[in-house]
Structure 1
Amino acid sequence: MWIYLIRHAEAEALGSGTVQRDFDRPLTAQGQEQARALARTLHKRGIVLDAVASSPLVRAHQTAVALLEVLAPGLRPVTCDELAIDVWKPGKLSDFLANLPPLGPRLPERREKAVAAVGHMPQLAHYLDWLLGIDKSNLTLEKAGAACIRCDGEPRRGNGQLLWLVTPLWYD
């Protein structure tokens, strides 16, 4: 199974404009462009996703929608509470990702499921460490950053291999 961990793009600051709750922070104009640039970059590299899960927070959901507009137009991300801020249940997140229904028909030449999980720091870094079997690393995802992990079978602690980790400077 392939897992793409993606941190949400740049969001409005808490208290700016009418944004009073962290949950409701939307992407900035720059954040919207970051999310689109990531989607274009993944598309150019031939990455096909079977499913996309998103934190319920607005900024993560908007990032996931921007990915799907390029990678699977007309489809929507699946909300995953385990990707929300301050939630750390790696086993439940793994089960959720492994059981996500596909966005559409799977390509016959593909044998392994590929899913994206759009969320927040530090939870994404903790999940990355967990998949790699590391207690605590210095790995981090910048806003609109992405990491690709290949798991041998179902995603479980220690059965992931980090293939790449990129920042928005790498896109396009």
Structure 2
Amino acid sequence: MEVYLIRHGIAAERGTYTNDDERPLIEKGRIKTKQVAEKLRAINLKFDLILTSPLIRAHQTAEIFQKVGLTNQIEIFESLAPDSDINKWLEWYSQFSEPNSNCKLALVGHQPDLGNWTEMLVWGTVKEQIVVKKAGIVGLNVPKIENPLGKSELFLLTSPKWLI
């Protein structure tokens, strides 16, 4: 299955909100995220499902992707919040029945988690070498097996500047 890890767009600066979970995308972040989404639509990419972190900036990113026509379905997934454990997603993934063999799943979350999850899925360990830029995308072929850690294939790692 193709799994796309997408970092939220540019958000308000840390410390500008009492509760960091409530930091929204800023105008520049909304514009860049929409440009990335439009580029993905132009190459006919469509997600069967987008799972998003519950934090507002990630959810707003997922909504922009939905408004551009990249998905019909968004679900909040608590384990995509910062400092989350990939094992909760792996448990969900093992029970997820894809609608077809060409299923495309997007996960909208945060750095360093998305970089770490990429490393776990590709290498089986965290090396702290992959950085996902804001509105950047990682594309992985994740096998539908019990434990895909270290068995996934990286086919895309791009920052938004290469998409817009």
Please, what TM-score do these two structures have when normalized by structure 2? 0.89
Q: Does 1:92 align with 2:88?
A: yes
Q: Would you identify which runs of 4 or more consecutive aligned residues in structure 1 move more than 4 Å?
A: 97-102
The corresponding residue for 2:76 is: 79
Cα displacement (A) at 1:138: 1.1
The corresponding residue for 2:156 is: 164
Q: Helix, strand or coil: the match of 1:115? A: strand
Q: Which runs of 5+ in 2 are unaligned?
A: none
In structure 2, how many angstroms separate the alpha carbons of the residues matched to 1:169 and 1:44? 16
State which of 128, 138, 141 in structure 1 corresponds to 2:129.
Answer: 138
Q: Does 1:27 align with 2:12?
A: no
* Range 54-63 or range 41-50, more displaced: 41-50
On the 8 A contact 1:49/1:115 being kept in 2, the answer is yes
Amino acid at match of 2:122: L
How many matched pairs?
A: 162
In structure 2, how many angstroms separate the alpha carbons of the residues matched to 1:10 and 1:99? 33
Q: Helix, strand or coil: the match of 2:68? A: helix
Please, what TM-score do these two structures have when normalized by structure 1? 0.85
On the 8 A contact 1:97/1:115 being kept in 2, the answer is no
State which of 62, 65, 90 in structure 2 corresponds to 1:64.
Answer: 62
Q: Deviations over 1:81-139 (max 9, x none)?
A: 11001212x2221232455577xxx6xxx623210000001111111011102421511
On the 8 A contact 2:45/2:70 being kept in 1, the answer is no
Cα displacement (A) at 1:170: 1.0
On the 8 A contact 1:65/1:76 being kept in 2, the answer is no
Change (3 A) 1:7 1:165: same
Q: Which runs of 5+ in 1 are unaligned?
A: none
Cα displacement (A) at 1:47: 1.0
| Percent identical residues | 28
Q: Helix, strand or coil: the match of 2:36? A: helix
Q: Helix, strand or coil: the match of 2:131? A: coil
The corresponding residue for 2:115 is: 125
In structure 2, how many angstroms separate the alpha carbons of the residues matched to 1:24 and 1:100? 29
Amino acid at match of 1:123: D
On the 8 A contact 2:53/2:78 being kept in 1, the answer is yes
In structure 2, how many angstroms separate the alpha carbons of the residues matched to 1:65 and 1:101? 23
Q: Deviations over 1:41-92 (max 9, x none)?
A: 111111121100000000000001101111247x45201111001212x222
In structure 2, how many angstroms separate the alpha carbons of the residues matched to 1:129 and 1:94? 14
The corresponding residue for 1:12 is: 12
CA RMSD, Structure 1 to Structure 2 (Å): 2.0
The corresponding residue for 2:143 is: 152
Cα displacement (A) at 1:140: 0.8
